[in-house]
Every structure is written in C-alpha cells, then in structure tokens.
Amino acid sequence: MFAQSELRQVWAPVNHDCCSEYLQQHTSEDSERPNVSTLDVSVQIQEGFDHLVSEQWLRRIAQDALAVGPAGTEDGASVVIADDEVVRDLNRRHRGLDENTDVLSFSFAHGGGYHGDRPPWPEPNEEIDFVLPPGQHACLGEVIISYPQAERQATCSGHSIEMELAILLVHGVLHLLGYGHEDPEEEAVMKRAEARVLAQVLGKS
C-alpha cells in the first residue's frame, strides 16, 4: 500500500490551536472557487474504517484541494485512511519520531525533514526515476491520515469527524502541491488556501 511512499516525503501535523479560528474568520475570503478538478485520486481505507467514511467524499475533497495547484496540471494523488499503528510506524521510520500523529504527506517531488538519531529507512535515493506507461499521469504523492487520531482531535475541537478529516486532507494535499508553514509568510499563504478549499467543500456538503 505504501510502496512508492518509501521514497521521499514532506510531513505536516496540523496546528489545531489556530485552524478552526482561522477558518471561521476567512471562509468568506477568495469567493472565486477553484475549478472543479477531474484529477485522478485513489482512495484506500483500512478495514474497520471503510463503513465510517465515504471514498467518494474523500476523493472530492482531495480533487478540490488539487485544483489549487498550477493551471493545467494533470498530476493526481493517493489518499489513505489508516489506524494509529500504521501512521505511527510511518512516522517513526520516515521522520524519526516514535509517536502518534494525525496526517503524513509523502511527496514524490519535495524532500521532508527527519528528526531521528539514525538515518531513515530506506534512505532516500535521488537517482530513482519512475517511467510511467503512455497516457498515465504522474502522482504527486500520498496523504495518510490516522482515523482514530482525527476522531480524538474532532472531539477536542468540538466539531464533527467529517470536518476534522476535511481539514487534515486539505492540509496534506496542499503540502503535496508545495505549500508549507516554515515561516509566517508561508503559513499565511497556506492558511488562505486551506480556508478557500474548506469553504468550497463545506458549501457542497
């Protein structure tokens, strides 16, 4: 399920202290909605959670987030809903942090930070270049969300699990597109994009 994800990554646990407040303040901004995306999005839901969330709903949110990307792009993405164990293992192996987290974005274009004492396994190989079959578009990467962690955070934030999953998924997809929050200016740009996509998603619900 995560074969290609072993290569390169960028990660992004969401800052929930400011996310809900920012969304309330900015959902009316950027009233021009992104064009509806038909980009290819694959969705995998781990057994046990498949009856709790809709593949079609997740796909639509990811497509709306991908529509924020450069005009004319045809790259898709993959979305995975998993349990704490899977996400924690990926967090340990690829970030060097043996702890639960809410969302991990594994990009095939952007490198990510590693915080462990030992080198990541497998070690990134910059020379690997996948050759795609004719007519098949590239995949930007994978967004992997822990459903149990999302559920806990939804309870703490006082909103629905659907809202929490939407926040995490949009945040993760924007990282695949190259958005970041390493400095205040980058963070402000990413928040505006998140608010725009979430306003569109919520407007369709």
170: nearest Cα among 149, 203, 195? 195
Dist. CA 5–CA 141, nearest whole Å: 7
pLDDT value at position 110?
67
pLDDT value at position 145?
98
DSSP string, 58-113: HHHHHHHHHTTS-TT---EEEEEEE-HHHHHHHHHHHHS--S--SEEEEESSS---
Q: Which domains does the chain have, with CATH numbers?
A: 13-79+105-113+137-142+160-204 (3.40.390)
Structure token digits, residue 24 = 């309330």
Dist. CA 201–CA 6, nearest whole Å: 30
pLDDT value at position 38?
67
Q: Residue 68: what residue type?
A: V
pLDDT value at position 11?
44
pLDDT value at position 137?
56
Structure token digits, residue 113 = 């930070």
pLDDT value at position 119?
58
Q: What is the pLDDT along the chain (205 residues), one digit of tens a residue?
A: 443 333 333 444 454 444 444 444 444 444 444 444 467 899 999 999 999 999 999 999 999 999 888 755 667 899 999 999 999 999 988 888 899 999 999 988 766 555 555 655 555 555 545 444 455 556 899 999 999 999 999 999 999 999 999 999 999 999 999 998 889 999 999 999 999 999 988 877 6
pLDDT value at position 9?
39
pLDDT value at position 22?
41
Q: Residue 110: what residue type?
A: H
Q: In degrees, to the nearest 5, what angle opens at C-alpha 105 toward C-alphas 136 and 198?
A: 90
Dist. CA 200–CA 205, nearest whole Å: 9
pLDDT value at position 201?
85
pLDDT value at position 23?
43
